Amino acid sequence: MPKVSAEYTRARRAEIVTAARAVFARQGFAGTSMNDLVEATGMSMGALYRYFPSKEDLVVAVADGRDGTVDGEFDAQEPAAELVSRLLTYVSDGPEGATHARLVAQIWADAGLKPALARMVRTRHAALRDHLAARIAARPATGGPTKTDPADLAEFLLAAMIGYASLVATDHEFDRERFRDVADVIMSALS
Amino acid sequence: MPKVSAEYTRARRAEIVTAARAVFARQGFAGTSMNDLVEATGMSMGALYRYFPSKEDLVVAVADGRDGTVDGEFDAQEPAAELVSRLLTYVSDGPEGATHARLVAQIWADAGLKPALARMVRTRHAALRDHLAARIAARPATGGPTKTDPADLAEFLLAAMIGYASLVATDHEFDRERFRDVADVIMSALS
Amino acid sequence: MPKVSAEYTRARRAEIVTAARAVFARQGFAGTSMNDLVEATGMSMGALYRYFPSKEDLVVAVADGRDGTVDGEFDAQEPAAELVSRLLTYVSDGPEGATHARLVAQIWADAGLKPALARMVRTRHAALRDHLAARIAARPATGGPTKTDPADLAEFLLAAMIGYASLVATDHEFDRERFRDVADVIMSALS
Amino acid sequence: MPKVSAEYTRARRAEIVTAARAVFARQGFAGTSMNDLVEATGMSMGALYRYFPSKEDLVVAVADGRDGTVDGEFDAQEPAAELVSRLLTYVSDGPEGATHARLVAQIWADAGLKPALARMVRTRHAALRDHLAARIAARPATGGPTKTDPADLAEFLLAAMIGYASLVATDHEFDRERFRDVADVIMSALS
DNA sequence: ACTTCCGGGACTACCCGTTAAT
DNA sequence: ATTAACGGGTAGTCCCGGAAGT
C-alpha cells in the first residue's frame, strides 16, 4: 500500500479514534492497553503506531472530539438555552450518553496530569465558553438589568455541565429534566 | 505489647492515607505504583498491604476524605453561601488547592469505572447535596416566590463545584472571585 | 523471604551472572532477550531485575569476570611466559574456550559503544597490562640490551591476546601452539 | 529507461554501504534499525530491501570493505613494515580512525555469532595474512637465522592489529607510536 | 517496471500489584 | 513485619512482505 490519498489517511485515523473512544470510555485511559486497541480496531500494532506515535497522542486525539460544535463549527444562531440543552443531552441520553459522560470525566482528570492534554482542553473550553457567552448576550432583554457578565455566567454553566457529566458517569440517579430546568431558570433570571 | 491499640491502627491508616493522597494528586491513581507509596510513607510493602488489602482499597480510602464536613460533621447552622464558598476555597486556594482539585477530578473519573468507588462517591455526594438543600431552604425569604426546588438547585450548584475543580486542575485561568459571585447571585435569585 | 544474608545475595547474583555468561556467549548481548535469561536462570523476571536494574548492568557484571586473575588476585610470582600461556589457554581450550572467546569479542565490541562498559574494560585491561609489564621486567636478563619498554611490549602482547580471541571466536583454524611459540620468542627476543 | 545499467546498480549499492558503515560504526549493528538506515541513506525502505534482501546481508556487505587492499588489490611491492603501519593508521588516525576501529570490533564480535559473516571474515583475514607473510619473507636478511615462520609471525601481527582496533575503539589511551615501534622491532628481531 | 511506504505481529526491556517465606 | 520473588502486563520497536501508485 504505497502512496495513499490524504482522504484515506484521514478516514483511517478517524476509524482508530472512533474505536479508541469507545474502549477508553469503557475502561478508562489507564485501563486500556495498546493491545486492547489492536483488538478493538482490528488493526495491527504497527498500523496503530503509524497513525499515532504514542498512546498519549491517541488520547489527545480522542479528547479532541467535537464538543458543542457541529462539523467543527458552532451554530451562530442557536439560542443559548438550546445550546445548553444540546450539551446536556450529549452526555446523558441513552447508553451512548453514559459512555460519553465517562469519557468526559476521564479527559478532565487526565488533563490535570498531562500538559499536552491540558492545553487542548483549555483551548476547546475557552472557545465553547466564549460562544456560549455570546449566545447569552444575544438573548432578548428581560426588562430587568443584567445581573451578571455573560462570560462569567457561561463559565459557571459550563462548569455545571462538566459536573453533570461526572455525575452521570457514576450512574448517579437524579432527575436530568430538572437539572436542565434549573439551567434554564438561571439563564432567564440572570441575563 | 502484643496487640496494638485500635487507636494506633487508626493513626497508622491515617498516616498512609495522607501520604497517598499527596502522591495520588500529583501522579494520578494509575500513575502511582505501590512502590511510590512505599517511598512516600516510609513503610514497607507488607505494612501497606496489612492496612489496605489492595491498591483500590487505598484509592477508596483516599477518596473518602472529608468533603464539606468538619470533623465528619456538617455545620447545621452554616449559611448556604458560606458553605458554597468554603467548598470552592477548598479546591482553589494555593498549591494545596490545586492538589486537591486534581484529586477531585481523579476521583470522579475513576468513579465512572470502579463500582466500589462509585458507591462511596454517590453516598457522599447525596449527603452533601441534602445538607446544602436544607441550608438553602433555610434562607430568609426574599419576598418573591421560590423559583426552584432547593434540592435541584443544590444539585446544580454541586455539579458546578465539581466542574470548578476540574477547571482548576487544568490550570485554567479564570477569575475565581467572579465564579463565587455568580454562585451567590444564583442563590439569591432563585431561592 | 525476608532479610537474607549478604552471602545469599552474593550467591544469587553469581548464579545469574554465570547463567547469563553462557547465554551471552552463545547468542551475543543483543541477541539475548531478558526472557532468554529468565529461562536460563529459572528465575522470574522480577527476580532478575531485583539483582540487576537493567540489561546493561548485567552485561557489565558478566564482562567484569576475572581475567588473568585467580580469585581476583594476580600471582606476583608467575613468570611472564606462563601468564601469557594461561591467558591464551583461557580462550582456546575446548568448548569452554570457544565460548569464552566469543564473549571476549562481544565485550570489546560493546565497549566501543557503551561508556559504562568501556570504563570497566579499560580499568581491567590497564591492571593486567601493568602486571604483565612487571613480570616481563622481572625476567632474567638475556645479556643483550633491553630492546623495548616492558610496558609497551605488554600492551602489544595483550592486544595480540584480544585478536587471538577474536580469531578463535570465528572458528578460524590456525595452529594455536605456534601462536603461543611466537609470543614466547618475542618475549625472549625483546626483553 | 527500463532496465537500469549495472553500473547504476553498483553505485547505488555502494552508496548504501557507505552510509550504513557510518551508522553501524556509531551505533553498532544491533543498535541500528532499518529505519535509521532509511534516514541515513535518504532512500525508502523498499529501495534498501531491493539492494539488500535482509539486514544481515547489509552487515556482511559493510564488513566486506577493503582491509589492507587498495582498490581491491594488495600492493605486491609494499614493504612489510609499511603495510603494518598502514593497517594501524587505518584504525587510529582522527575521528575517522576511531569510527573504523569500532566497526572492526563489531565485525569480529558478530562474526563469532553469524556463520555467513564468519566465512567472509575468515577469507579476508587469510588473504591478508598470506600477503603479509610474503612481504615479511621478502625482507632483506638480517644476518641472523630466521627465528619464526613468516606465516606464524604474520598471524600474530594481525591478531595484534585486531586487538589494537579494539583498544582504540574503547578510547583506551596509549601511545600509538610506540605500539607501531614494537611491531617494527618485532619484525626486525624475528625475521 | 520500479519504487514507495503501509501494514503485520512477534518481540523487547522493563514494571506492576500482589503473595509468601522468613 | 519485612522483603524477595512472582509472572503476566506495558508501551513501544523491529524487520520485513506486498499492495498501490508513477
What is the tens place of the pLDDT at every residue in C151-174? 999 999 999 999 999 999 998 888
Alpha helices in chain A (DSSP H): 6-27, 34-41, 45-51, 55-63, 80-90, 94-111, 115-137, 150-169, 176-190
Contacts of C146 in chain D (CB under 8 A): none
DSSP label at residue D68? S
- Average pLDDT value over all residues in chain A: 91
**How far is it, in rounded angstroms, from Cα B20 to Cα B37?**
6
A118 in contact with chain B, both atoms CB, cutoff 8 A:
yes
Touch between chain D and chain C: 3 or more Cβ pairs under 8 Å: yes
pLDDT score recorded for residue B1: 44
- What is the number of other CB atoms lying within 10 angstroms of the CB of residue A105? 32
A110 in contact with chain B, both atoms CB, cutoff 8 A:
yes
Distant-in-sequence, close-in-space partners of C152: CB < 8 Å, separation ≥ 6: D175, D178, D179, D181, D182
pLDDT score recorded for residue B74: 84
User: Which helix (H) or strand (E) is D120 found in, with range?
Assistant: helix D115-137
Q: Which chains touch D (3 or more CB pairs under 8 A)?
A: C
Confidence of residue C142 (pLDDT cuts 50, 70, 90): low
CA distance A42 to chain B (A): 24
Which nucleotides in chain E lie closer than 7 A to a protein CB? 1-22
Which of B158, B169, B89, B73 lies closest to B122, judged by CA? B158
C56 touches strand E (CB under 7 A): yes
- Kindly report which amino acid residue has its CA closest to the C1' atom of nucleotide F18: A1
C127 in contact with chain D, both atoms CB, cutoff 8 A:
no
Distant-in-sequence, close-in-space partners of B6: CB < 8 Å, separation ≥ 6: none
Q: Which residues from 14-53 of C have any strand F atom under 7 Å from their CB?
A: 43-47, 49-51
Contacts of B116 in chain A (CB under 8 A): none
Range list of β-strands (E), chain B: none
B157 within 8 A of B68, measured Cβ to Cβ: no
Interchain proximity C28–D31, CB inside 8 Å: no
Residues C64-74: tens digit of each pLDDT = 986 666 666 78
Mean pLDDT of C79-108: 90
Secondary structure (DSSP) of B4-30: PPHHHHHHHHHHHHHHHHHHHHHH-ST
Query: Over 80: is that where the pLDDT of B146 sits?
Result: no
pLDDT score recorded for residue D70: 64
- Reading the block at residue B77, the C-alpha cell is 447552622
The whole-number Å distance from D5's CA to E1's C1' is 14
Mean pLDDT of D97-123: 94
Interchain proximity B112–A31, CB inside 8 Å: no
Which of A53, A71, A69, A51 lies closest to A10, judged by CA? A51
By Cβ distance, the residue of C28, C182, C189 closest to D113 is: C28
Chain D residue closest in CA terms to C180: D156
**Chain D interface, best mutation among C27, C147, C155, by max D CB count within 10 A:** C155
Contacts of A101 in chain B (CB under 8 A): 112
**How far is it, in rounded angstroms, from Cα D28 to Cα D24?**
5
CA distance D102 to chain C (A): 6
Phi-psi region of C152 (alpha: psi -120 to 50; beta: other; left: phi over 0): alpha
CA distance A15 to chain B (A): 24
CA distance D1 to chain C (A): 43
Measured in degrees and rounded to the nearest 5, phi and psi for residue C28 equal 85, 160
**How far is it, in rounded angstroms, from Cα D180 to Cα D176?**
6
Which of A188, A84, A92 lies closest to A142, judged by CA? A188
Mean pLDDT of B35-56: 96
Checking each nucleotide's C1' against the CA of D53, the nearest proves to be F16
- Average pLDDT value over all residues in chain D: 89
A145 in contact with chain B, both atoms CB, cutoff 8 A:
no
**How far is it, in rounded angstroms, from Cα B67 to Cα C174?**
82
Which of D135, D91, A76, D156 lies closest to C112, judged by CA? D91
- Reading the block at residue B62, the C-alpha cell is 483516599
- Please list the residues that pair with B40 across neighbouring strands: none
In angstroms, the first-to-last Cα distance of chain A is: 58
Mean pLDDT of A17-43: 96
Q: A131-135, A153-157, A175-179, B6-10: lowest mean pLDDT where?
A: B6-10
- Reading the block at residue D61, the C-alpha cell is 556487505
Interchain proximity D147–C189, CB inside 8 Å: yes
C34 touches strand E (CB under 7 A): yes
**Which range is most confident: A162-166, B85-89, D98-102?**
A162-166
pLDDT score recorded for residue B172: 84
State pTM to two decimals: 0.90
Mean pLDDT of B152-173: 95
Contacts of B30 in chain A (CB under 8 A): 28-31
B114 within 8 A of B165, measured Cβ to Cβ: no
Q: Which chains touch A (3 or more CB pairs under 8 A)?
A: B
C27 touches strand E (CB under 7 A): no
Contacts of D99 in chain C (CB under 8 A): none
Q: D138 versus C191: which is more confidently predicted?
A: D138
Query: Over 70: is that where the pLDDT of D125 sits?
Result: yes
pLDDT score recorded for residue B67: 63
Chain A residue closest in CA terms to B168: A112
Query: Over 80: is that where the pLDDT of C3 sits?
Result: no
pLDDT score recorded for residue D190: 82
By Cβ distance, the residue of B111, B164, B190 closest to A185 is: B190
Residues 30-49, chain A: which have Cβ within 8 Å of B? 30-31
Sign of CA dihedral A58, A62, A65, A71: positive
Percent of chain D with pLDDT over 90: 71
What are the helix and strand counts (H, E) for chain B? Answer: 9, 0
- Average pLDDT value over all residues in chain B: 90
Residues A64-120: tens digit of each pLDDT = 986 666 667 889 899 999 999 999 998 887 778 889 999 999 999 999 999 999 999
Q: Give ∠ CA A94-A96-A99 in degrees, rounded to 5.
A: 115
Chain A residue closest in CA terms to B106: A109
Phi-psi region of B111 (alpha: psi -120 to 50; beta: other; left: phi over 0): alpha
CA distance D185 to chain C (A): 8
D44 touches strand F (CB under 7 A): no
pLDDT score recorded for residue D20: 96
Mean pLDDT of D131-149: 82
D191 touches strand F (CB under 7 A): no
pLDDT score recorded for residue D73: 77
Q: D117 versus C66: which is more confidently predicted?
A: D117
Which of C79, C178, C86 lies closest to C137, judged by CA? C79
pLDDT score recorded for residue A144: 62
Secondary structure (DSSP) of chain C: --S--HHHHHHHHHHHHHHHHHHHHHH-STT--HHHHHHHH---HHHHHHH-SSHHHHHHHHHTS-SS-BTTB--TT--HHHHHHHHHHHTTSHHHHHHHHHHHHHHHHHHTT-HHHHHHHHHHHHHHHHHHHHHHHTSPP-SSPP-S-HHHHHHHHHHHHHHHHHHHHTT----HHHHHHHHHHHHHHH-
The whole-number Å distance from C48's CA to E14's C1' is 11
Contacts of A24 in chain B (CB under 8 A): none
Query: Over 70: is that where the pLDDT of D66 sits?
Result: no
pLDDT score recorded for residue D1: 41
**How far is it, in rounded angstroms, from Cα B36 to Cα B55?**
12
pLDDT score recorded for residue B14: 94
User: Which helix (H) or strand (E) is B94 found in, with range?
Assistant: helix B94-111
User: Which helix (H) or strand (E) is A3 found in, with range?
Assistant: none
Query: Over 50: is that where the pLDDT of D2 sits?
Result: no
Sign of CA dihedral B164, B166, B167, B168: positive
Query: Over 80: is that where the pLDDT of B90 sits?
Result: yes
pLDDT score recorded for residue D144: 62
Per-residue burial over C25-61, b if 16 or more Cβ lie within 10 Å, else e, is bbebbbebeeebbbebbebeeeebeebbeebeebbbb
Residues C36-73: tens digit of each pLDDT = 999 999 999 999 999 999 999 999 999 998 666 666 67
- Kindly report which amino acid residue has its CA closest to the C1' atom of nucleotide E6: A1
By Cβ distance, the residue of B147, B170, B179 closest to A112 is: B170
C139 touches strand F (CB under 7 A): no
A99 within 8 A of A22, measured Cβ to Cβ: yes
Q: A133-137, B62-66, C2-6, C74-78: lowest mean pLDDT where?
A: C2-6
The whole-number Å distance from D30's CA to F10's C1' is 23
